[in-house]
Amino acid sequence: MIEPRTIHLEPEAVMAMSQILGIMLDQMFDAETSAMWSTEHIIELEARLVSPAEGEPIELGIDDASLLLQGMAFTEVMSEELPWIDTVRWVTDFVTMELRQHWTEEEWHNFSQS
């Protein structure tokens, strides 16, 4: 875990993030996307998301947030033709803002350079 933070998430946010991770795992069976993400990281992150009691904080690293953001971006691209794409975009923007706020722009920049 890189640059860990203790974060309070609403139960609905945890559920949405778990669904994103599930979509990512489903894509791991596709030959084109199988190398995009680490199966172990996805499974470990999902376990951390769902293990605390409701309302308890969750420890996330910038690498975890990045993985979730990648999954949301993938889901948004794959949903372009669906009638609810505006809702998907709004949720993606909202969750992106919520996750990114826990690290500075410098930390994000340094992480993206590594």
Whole-model pTM?
0.85
Q: Which of 77, 71, 63, 68 is nearest to 98 (CA)?
A: 68
Q: Which of 84, 75, 62 is nearest to 17 (CA)?
A: 75
pLDDT digits (tens, 9 = 90+) for 66-101: 999 999 888 888 888 888 888 888 888 888 888 899
Q: What's the CA dihedral at 75, 9, 39, 24 to 10 degrees?
A: -10
pLDDT digits (tens, 9 = 90+) for 16-74: 888 889 888 888 776 565 567 888 999 999 999 988 887 789 999 999 999 999 998 88
